[in-house]
Structure formats: structure tokens, C-alpha cells
Chain A
Amino acid sequence: MQVSYYPGCTLKTNAKNFETSALAVLERLGVTARELEDWYCCGVCFSQASDNLMQQIAPIRTLVKAKESGNRQLLALCTMCFNTLKRSIEFIKADKDRLETIQEFMDREATRFYGDEVDVVDILSLIKQIGLDKLKDAIVKNGKDLKIASYYGCMLLRPKEIAIDSPDDPSIMEEIITASGCENVYFPFRTECCGSYQIVNEPDIVKTRAKKIIGSAVKNGADLMVMLCPLCYYNLDEMQLEIQKEDNTFQTIPVLYITQLLALLMELDLDIHDFSLHSVDPRPVLKRKGLL
């Protein structure tokens, strides 16, 4: 099975370990994710500005590339990229005039894109599509003692037009965790906002939220937290040390991309994990639980 792969900016920098672990896991599951030859910015939050068509051009150009790649599915690992790319499709499909205006700017593209030719897919849905049985078969290590808190954030679940699961009570991550042999820890803040870009101007907001989210996962007995969004990852991982500086009773917890956990359980090459990218070092917990 082959899908096209759109990395986006973060996956090539801060979230390098997400990319390497995800691609390795997919390879083990028999999926080749071929990176687009040429790709543009996904548009980030700018493409969601309500009145500016111009800012849709970058994501649409990427989708044109995806169409040209010949693969129906375009994997976006970063949840922000997933969200904006998928919403761009909805955006042009909702209004023919928008589509036409945008196409007028596609003077360097040989291919026309109408919205239905490419399916943007996230890695959770892709793993489910491959089959949880196949995932189970690929797991080598026993994760029975490992209690996992799955954190969704918002980008995969909102708005509902592009949501991959219920925005308030999703289950897809837990299903994957169950299939991987680990134990799920339910905590009430798994879909709560991490504070997002407030980290730039109002880091205290993020700090408060991180404390609430992490605190709840710890209280419910989690050993590890897994997620997919590089921004949530940054906010929830890095902020923990800041919180601990102010509150020494605060208990930290390692944060991993879900694909890192799967890679560890599959005993893939350890080089794909750059543990130096973590603020809260996951290695002590991983060693204790026999994953390292």
C-alpha cells in the first residue's frame, strides 16, 4: 500500500521524532508513505481567516501536488496540517466561485484540483484502515504494565465537518492503544484545549491548562501521555518543567508521539527516537517498564 505524505514545517524540525517514528511504524505495517516532491506551507491558521481567499492558495497548491502524485490518500502527520488541508478542500467544495478564483491563480500548475480527488488522512485513521489486527501482529513487546493517557487536542476533532471522531468523547486513540497491548487511562481532559498559540503571548494560559491536563492524567494513574499534535506536544511537554519550577509538588509525566510508543512496542530501530527533543525525559519510565 502506498500513500502520499505531506510533512509540513514542524515535522522537519521540532517534531523530527514524530516523522521518523511514524514512517518507520507505517513501513512495518506495510505502508509506503512517499513524501510529495514539492510541497508548500499548509496555510496554518492563516488559511482559516474568514475573508481571504489568497491564503487558501498554499494548501490548494499542495493538494494539486498530491493529486499529481497519483495516490488517492495524502497523509498529514501534523494535526494542524491535517486540519487546514482538509478544511481547504471543504472550503472550495462549498462554493464554486471560490474554487474558480483560486484556480485563476494556479497558473504554474498543470493540474486542476476540484476537491474530490484527494483524501487527506491522519495517521490514526490510516492505522485503523490498515487494520488493528495487523497492528497487533506487529507488536513485539508487552505493554501490559503501561498505562497510557491518550490526549487528542482539538485539531483532529473540530470542526465537525472534518472530525475523525466525536469531539467530546472520541475513542480512536484508545482503540489503537488497546490493540497495541497497553492499558488505557481515561482522564476527563483528553479533548481539552492545550492553550495553542497563546504560548507566544500569554504563556500563563498554557501553563494553567497544562497543569490541569497533565495533573488529571497523573491523578488517573497514567505512566505516559501520547498525542499527535506537535503544538500540543510542545505546550504540554515543555511547560511541565516551568510548572515544576513554580510548584515542586507538581508531578511530571513523559509525553510521546503515539507513533513513538508504537515503534518502541514494535522494537524498531531506537535511532528514530531523538530523546533529546523531550523536555521531560521519557527514558526512566520506559526503562522501568521494559521498553528500553
Chain B
Amino acid sequence: MKRIGVFVCHCGINIAATVDIEAVVKDLKDYPGVVFVQDYKYMCSDPGQNMIKEKIKSERLDGIVVAACSPTLHEKTFRMTVKTVDMNPYNCEIANIREQCSWVHKDKNEATPKAKLIIRSVVEKALLDEELEPVKVPVVRKALVLGGGIAGIQAALSIANSGHEVILVERQSSIGGRMAQLSETFPTLDCSQCILTPKMVDVAQHEKIRLMTYSELEDISGFVGNFKVKIRQKTRYIDWDKCTGCGLCIEKCPQKVPSEFDQELGKRKAVYTPFPQAVPNKPVIDHENCTYFKTGKCQLCKIVCPFDAVDFDEADKFIEEEVGAIVVATGYDVYPVLNMDEYGSGKLPDVIDGLTFERILSSSGPTGGEVRRPSDGKVPKEIVFIKCVGSRDPENHFPYCSKICCMYTTKHAMLYKHRVHDGQPYIFYMDVRSGGKGYEEFYQRAQEEDKVIFLRGKVSKVYQDDNKIVVCGIDTLSGTNVEIRADMVVLAMAIRPSKGVEELAQLLKIAIDQNGFLTEAHPKLRPVESLSAGIYLAGCAQAPKDIPDTVAQASAAASMVSNLFAQEYLLHEPIITGVDEDLCSGCGLCITVCPYDARILNREKSIVDVNEILCEACGACAAACPSGAAQQRNFTDKQLSNMVKAILS
């Protein structure tokens, strides 16, 4: 029989106050298999750990049980300790007598016998524990970044700058994302494009980055360090190897369509680049609107192209790659105004969302940066901004705060005032949330220097009356109803995860929260990791956030990728559920219950094979297996039944 040592921790008075340690020690001394028992005030302290090490040697222990706090807290600590004296870490077990015993009882007479039983049962487990070695997994040192907005750009550059290869996949024909659409950025009012475009160019020129725009992730298999991905390169109908980006095709194209980049305020051609600073600066043909595809006639672009780059017969291409890590940076969409029945359901042309107003403010926008309203091009003399539209409204829309609206609305009002000196901006707000470096000062400046009128209250109704937009709201600070006959209204619409993120999450097997954003592994301590190893999150795909936060998160995600790539090989927990080939009949029940696709039917041998790297040891297969062939290592049926017996004895 194995020689087991038991170490009982007082945890100060956390355990000792409700568990009679002396009685526990005495009880365990006589338990079969236990050859040594010792208590100590703080077992996790240095002296405590040293004592464990000494006793393992002097008492020639084969395994130990530390009766202390929850294994989530210190299992790793003690396993590292025993490893230094050459004990296999998996022969160190934790008996949780704090969270599951002393903390939940008041009566010493109840807690003490329970503590004894808990420790006894873990001793039973330790007696049958095997020595295990972590599974070693090789790492492909190449990363995939999904999304070419500022989050994806930052992550890609950062990973590439640490010397690793990156594939940056963007579904639009150019990178740049939402940030490229913005005018000036809070709180410094520097031009968004001026700070973004150099980074875009860096991406295009970086020797370690393979840029794949107009592309989407089609399929994925594998696991951390070893993903196999299939990327769909959508048909551009223009051979970018031949195309020089001269723009002749765009000039000659007769078909105009509303520009998505300009929030449909301006027009683009059917062959187009989304904006002049696009990277790559090469056009694609919009199949849906192209005259040739609609009528079979035209081909003007093909005729004028000096490089014979137009190819109407081109088809989607598929590219397969192996990558070790993935950063998901798919960004956000703006909740459409048409969902707001009380604000005109999107039927009033001069009631627009904040992103559209960004285009109006942008010097490269449809009005050249002059504030003119969409309906008649008139300069609005009174303009109303409404915040929290769709956000913070659990009953009708979304419960969360979209986070960036307070600051960008303040910025909008300020920029408006800078351009229309005799104009008056009003902001209806629920709260002003100006947490962030320089943000509160920015908000104060808007009030004091730019005379923006802030009204605390909601707007109940917005309607068109002649050529005015009437805004009916309440100022809750003065308790009066307010009616403003404005020329234009800007709604700070809720931030939504970008379209298609749900399908992508399913493909990647990562979780999304109740609002559709990607879920991080831990809200505080693991904010950039997904729950699937090797897949990291950055930017608004995870939650609404501003540019500084996005860049920070993207850099953090990149650093996590670099950490991963710095390892020679990855270690995977050896506690997995294997297959006893003699017992397995190949019924496949375990395959159907496995949530990780870790079990595969071996038709030749008529048994089930296990991919040890994919197995997360949830135990579902062990429970489902009718023959006992699926046994979880160190949680075998025998061990579990002995543990139960020890508790019931």
C-alpha cells in the first residue's frame, strides 16, 4: 500500500475556529494507508511548504493530501512544491475543508466530523492516484487575426513585430474598420484618419503580415497551437496582381450606389474602393449593383482597364492555412434608427445616428466636413443630440451601456459648435459617464467654452413639423417639459456586435453573452482570452469600448499570443478520459456526449480513439460509457466509489 501523508492547515482561524484540528489529526493517524499527519497554521506559507518537502523525504511518502482551502486556490502551489522533491505532482491532492466545511458551518461539532470524512475520502483517492505526465503539444507560430479595424490592425502589428507571422483577414475590401469612418477623436480632437492610415500602411508593408481583405473565415478545426483554417477569398472580379489601383474603372463606371462608408449619404460606383485611403487601394466589383451582372451589358471597366485586370468569370477562392492562435476583432455595428419608433423609425431624413454624423463632420465626408443636414443641405442652427438610444433600456432594447456615446456626443456637440459658431447644440442625457484620462475635462470644456446645453432627461417623441424636427423631452433637473424645434437630431444609437458574429462564434466554439458580445474567460483576470484556449478577443466584439481601450486590449491579446508562441511546446493537463481498448465495444455513446469533439470512432479496431489534446476531462463520456472503458485518469470509477464509501462509512 502507498504511504500517504496528510497535512492539515489551520488557515489562521479560518478553519481552526470551526474544525477541531487536533481531533482531525488524531482521527487520520489511524486511517489505513496514512503514515504521517501534521497540522500547521498556514500550510501555504514558505515554512509550511518546506515542512511538506522535508516530510515527503523523511517519511518516504508516495502521495500527500493537503487539507486546506479550495483546490482552485492552492492546488497548483502544492503540486509545484511536491515536484521540487521529485514527487509526481498528480500524487498531491487537496481536501477542501475551508469553503466546503469550516466556512459553511458554525458548529464545531458538525464541522469536525465532516472535515474528517472529507479528508478520508481524499486519502482514498490519493491511494489509487497514478503518476501522470502533462501531454506535450507542438505550436504553429503563426497567428490569425479576424477583423481589420483598429483592434485587428493593432493586434496584427504587435504580433508581427514580435517576429511571428500573421494572417489578417478582413471582410471588407479595405482595412480600417469603423475608425476610418470617424472624423476627429475625443478627447484630443486629433483626426482619426491621420492617426490610423499610417498604421494601415504599416500593415500592408509588414513582411510578416499576410493581408487578406474581402475574405472571411470559412471553416476551422484543430486546437490551440494547431488550428487548421479555411479562408474564403470572395470574388473581387478584379485581379489585384494586375491592378495598379489607377482608378480608371471607377471613373468610367456608370452605376452609382449609396456608399456604405459614408453611411449612405454619399454615392460610390459599382466598382469601388470604400474610401480614397483604402488599404489595399484596389477596387472590387459589387456583383449586386454592377450593370453588367444585372443586364449582361456594359463592361466599361473591362474596356478601359489598361492592365486587363477585370475578370467577370472569377470565382471565390479558398485558402487553407495552419495557425497557432486566433485573435477575434470583428468590431461593432450601430443599432439601426429604424428600431426607434418614438424617434421616427428612421423615416425622418434629418434624424440620424452618431456614425452618420461622423461622416458629416469628416473633412473627407459627403459634405466635406461642413455641417449640413441630409434633407435639404441646410446648415442646422439648432441641433439636438440624444444619448442612450437603445442602450440602458432593458425593457425595449438593450440593458447595457454602450460606453462611448457620452464622449462622442460631447465631441459631436463641440465640433458642431466649432463649425457653426451661431448654432446651439443641446444634449439630452441620462447620465454623463466621463471616466477616462482627460475625459471629464473634455466634458467640462464642452459646457464652459462651447456652451453646449446639457439637459438631463429622456426624449419621448421626435417628429417632423414643416421643416423642423420637434423634440419633446423632459429636463428632470428643473422638472419641466422641454420642446425644442430643432433643425437636426443625432441619436447616440446602441453599439451592437457586428453582423455575423454569432455564426463566427459558433464556428470558433467560443461563447457569446446575452447581448451577443463575445465572452471573455474571466471578466477581470482574463479579459482578453476566450474560453477556448488559443482564441483571444479584442475590441468591440467583446464589449463596447473606445479607441484607447480597444488598442490596449488588442495589444494585450497580441501579447497573449506572443506568450503562447514563446513556448517550445504546450502542456496539456494529463487528467483526461482515456479508453480501455479491451473493454470498449465502439458503441460510440461517448462520442455523442463529448462537447469537445475529442472522441473519434476507430472503425478498423471498432473502438473509440481519444484526442488527448482536445479532451477537457469533463467526464461526460465516463458517465455515459456502459462498459466502464472510459475512465478518467485519477478519477476512475474505483477511486470515486472508494471516496463515496469513505464518506458513508
Which A positions have Cβ atoms within 8 angstroms of B? Answer: 166-169, 188
Q: Given the complex, which residues of B lie within 8 Å of A169, measured CB to CB?
A: 341-342, 344-345
Q: How far is the CB of B350 from chain A (nearest CB, A)?
A: 14
Residue of A nearest to B340 (CB): A168
Extra contacts besides A168-B345, A188-B470 (10): CB < 8 Å:
A166-B341, A167-B341, A168-B341, A168-B342, A169-B341, A169-B344, A169-B345, A188-B463, A188-B464, A188-B465
Name B441-474 residues within 8 Å CB distance of A: 461, 463-465, 470
A188 in complex: contacting residue of B341, B345, B461, CB < 8 Å: B461
Q: List 15 A-B contacts (CB under 8 A).
A: A166-B341, A167-B341, A168-B341, A168-B342, A168-B345, A168-B461, A169-B341, A169-B342, A169-B344, A169-B345, A188-B461, A188-B463, A188-B464, A188-B465, A188-B470
Distance in angstroms between the alpha carbons of A168 and B340 in the assembled complex: 9
Distance in angstroms between the alpha carbons of A169 and B341 in the assembled complex: 5
Which B positions have Cβ atoms within 8 angstroms of A? Answer: 341-342, 344-345, 461, 463-465, 470
Distance in angstroms between the alpha carbons of A168 and B341 in the assembled complex: 5
Q: Given the complex, which residues of A lie within 8 Å of B464, measured CB to CB?
A: 188
Distance in angstroms between the alpha carbons of A167 and B470 in the assembled complex: 19
Q: Given the complex, which residues of B lie within 8 Å of A167, measured CB to CB?
A: 341
Q: Given the complex, which residues of B lie within 8 Å of A188, measured CB to CB?
A: 461, 463-465, 470
Distance in angstroms between the alpha carbons of A212 and B429 in the assembled complex: 27
Q: How far is the CB of A159 from chain B (nearest CB, A)?
A: 10
Distance in angstroms between the alpha carbons of A157 and B526 in the assembled complex: 46
Residue of B nearest to A220 (CB): B465
Tell me how many residue pairs across A and B have CB atoms closer than 8 Å.
15
Distance in angstroms between the alpha carbons of A150 and B463 in the assembled complex: 16
Distance in angstroms between the alpha carbons of A167 and B340 in the assembled complex: 11
Residue of A nearest to B466 (CB): A219
Residue of A nearest to B463 (CB): A188
Q: Given the complex, which residues of A lie within 8 Å of B341, measured CB to CB?
A: 166-169
Q: Given the complex, which residues of A lie within 8 Å of B345, measured CB to CB?
A: 168-169
Q: How far is the CB of A154 from chain B (nearest CB, A)?
A: 13
Distance in angstroms between the alpha carbons of A44 and B345 in the assembled complex: 32
Q: How far is the CB of B396 from chain A (nearest CB, A)?
A: 8
Q: Given the complex, which residues of A lie within 8 Å of B463, measured CB to CB?
A: 188
Q: Given the complex, which residues of A lie within 8 Å of B470, measured CB to CB?
A: 188
Q: Given the complex, which residues of B lie within 8 Å of A168, measured CB to CB?
A: 341-342, 345, 461
Q: How far is the CB of A215 from chain B (nearest CB, A)?
A: 11
Residue of B nearest to A168 (CB): B341
Distance in angstroms between the alpha carbons of A167 and B461 in the assembled complex: 12
Distance in angstroms between the alpha carbons of A166 and B344 in the assembled complex: 12
Distance in angstroms between the alpha carbons of A283 and B407 in the assembled complex: 58
Distance in angstroms between the alpha carbons of A167 and B460 in the assembled complex: 12
Listed from nearest, the 9 A-B pairs whose CB atoms lie closest are A188-B463, A168-B341, A169-B341, A168-B342, A169-B345, A166-B341, A188-B465, A188-B464, A167-B341
Distance in angstroms between the alpha carbons of A188 and B465 in the assembled complex: 8
Q: Given the complex, which residues of A lie within 8 Å of B465, measured CB to CB?
A: 188
Residue of A nearest to B462 (CB): A188
Distance in angstroms between the alpha carbons of A188 and B342 in the assembled complex: 10
Residue of A nearest to B347 (CB): A169
Distance in angstroms between the alpha carbons of A167 and B344 in the assembled complex: 12
Residue of B nearest to A165 (CB): B341
Residue of A nearest to B465 (CB): A188
Distance in angstroms between the alpha carbons of A169 and B463 in the assembled complex: 11
Q: How far is the CB of B270 from chain A (nearest CB, A)?
A: 34
Distance in angstroms between the alpha carbons of A125 and B345 in the assembled complex: 22
Q: How far is the CB of A288 from chain B (nearest CB, A)?
A: 27
Residue of A nearest to B338 (CB): A169
Q: How far is the CB of A130 from chain B (nearest CB, A)?
A: 26
> Which of B341, B345, B464 has the most chain A CB atoms closer than 10 A to its own CB?
B341
Q: How far is the CB of A248 from chain B (nearest CB, A)?
A: 23
Q: How far is the CB of A198 from chain B (nearest CB, A)?
A: 16
Distance in angstroms between the alpha carbons of A169 and B462 in the assembled complex: 11
Residue of B nearest to A219 (CB): B465
Distance in angstroms between the alpha carbons of A148 and B58 in the assembled complex: 98
Q: How far is the CB of A112 from chain B (nearest CB, A)?
A: 33
Residue of A nearest to B346 (CB): A169
Distance in angstroms between the alpha carbons of A165 and B342 in the assembled complex: 13
Distance in angstroms between the alpha carbons of A168 and B470 in the assembled complex: 15
Residue of B nearest to A170 (CB): B341
Residue of B nearest to A188 (CB): B463
Distance in angstroms between the alpha carbons of A188 and B341 in the assembled complex: 12
Distance in angstroms between the alpha carbons of A188 and B470 in the assembled complex: 10
Residue of A nearest to B396 (CB): A160
Distance in angstroms between the alpha carbons of A167 and B464 in the assembled complex: 18
Q: How far is the CB of B256 from chain A (nearest CB, A)?
A: 30
Q: Given the complex, which residues of B lie within 8 Å of A166, measured CB to CB?
A: 341
Q: How far is the CB of B40 from chain A (nearest CB, A)?
A: 56
Distance in angstroms between the alpha carbons of A188 and B469 in the assembled complex: 11
Distance in angstroms between the alpha carbons of A169 and B465 in the assembled complex: 16
Q: How far is the CB of B243 from chain A (nearest CB, A)?
A: 46
Residue of A nearest to B470 (CB): A188
Residue of A nearest to B345 (CB): A169
Residue of B nearest to A189 (CB): B463
Q: Given the complex, which residues of A lie within 8 Å of B344, measured CB to CB?
A: 169
Distance in angstroms between the alpha carbons of A167 and B341 in the assembled complex: 8
Q: How far is the CB of A269 from chain B (nearest CB, A)?
A: 39
Q: How far is the CB of A64 from chain B (nearest CB, A)?
A: 32
Q: How far is the CB of A216 from chain B (nearest CB, A)?
A: 8
Q: How far is the CB of B331 from chain A (nearest CB, A)?
A: 30
Distance in angstroms between the alpha carbons of A167 and B342 in the assembled complex: 8
